[in-house]
Structure 1
């Protein structure tokens, strides 16, 4: 067996697209017997520097996080600007969007993913780090998100 291309095999997050973050976060809270998570908007475009398919995007989304024992569920309600979230929601409806991994060396990992035929769909910054989504559906049947947190 070889080594992981991205330096880890630990899935840290599953992202789920929703139309109504209030209703779905309430449903998850009831299902798991936890407090309903508060949601927050992603950073503003000037901070997030979001790019979708290589072009600047004003896209934002409401996010709510539910921390489980071994991973985090991320509920995502996108706005209507072009983004991986909006496109996937319109094409596939509500449900799983991505699996995420925490990595180090984002530029290097983007190059590795692209060398494996997984095209960069969207990238941006968040308070404390950066993210990148890849179209890994042909190979892995799910989108992959890489997260790099500042130290």
Structure 2
């Protein structure tokens, strides 16, 4: 196995946190860190995002706020009511940490590799300039992993 493990990259790029009220929580983070409150964006509609949850297309969308903290990005996520890895986790566990993300190359290959080790793809979709996938790594790693692949 390479020095960079299964993903070819062991650099944590992001921590994702689920919230019920992104406006309030992002204001609190901004105050806590003494920085400006970031703009809140909304993920793309199904036609653009091609979002799938547990293998089924879903219209799920979420409000997102990003705090760039040096080499690590903090992502706040407020999901809508539609089926998603976000909504499921928020309903079951409440607010709090949801995933750690890694930038990878070769999304299909990486997902297949992880699935071959019993780590199931939960949700995937597209964003401007790339794609994401959430993989159920709870049994092994006690947290969900998000894979991010950016177009060259």
Question: Where on the TM-score scale, by shorter chain, does this alignment land: which range?
Answer: over 0.9
Distance in structure 1 (CA, Å) of the matches to 2:84 and 2:32: 29
Gaps of 5+ in 2: none
Work out whether 1:87 is the aligned partner of 2:85: no
Q: Secondary structure at the match of 1:12?
A: strand
Q: Whole-Å Cα distance in 2 between the matches of residues 47 and 113 of structure 1?
A: 26
How far off its partner does 1:93 sit?
0.2
Matched residues in 1 for 2:25 and 2:46: separation? 26
TM-score, structure 1 as length reference: 0.98
Verify the 8 A CA contact 2:2 2:8 in the aligned structure 1: no
> 1:21-52: per-residue Cα shift (whole Å, max 9, x none)?
00000000011111001101001110000000
Match of 2:20 in 1: 19
Residue 82 of structure 1 deviates from its aligned partner by 0.3
TM-score (norm 2): 0.97
Aligned counterpart, 1:128: 129
Equivalent residue number for residue 101 of structure 2: 100
What is the CA-CA distance between 1:88 and the residue it aligns to?
A: 0.1
Q: CA deviation at 1:2?
A: 5.1
2:54 aligned partner: 53
Q: Does 1:142 align with 2:136?
A: no
1:63 counterpart residue number: 64
1:56: Cα distance to partner? 0.4
Segments of 5+ residues of structure 1 without an aligned counterpart are none
Superposed structure 1 runs of 4+ greater than 2 Å apart: none
Q: CA deviation at 1:116?
A: 1.6
> Considering only aligned residues, what root-mean-square deviation do their CA atoms show, in Å?
0.9
Aligned positions, number? 151
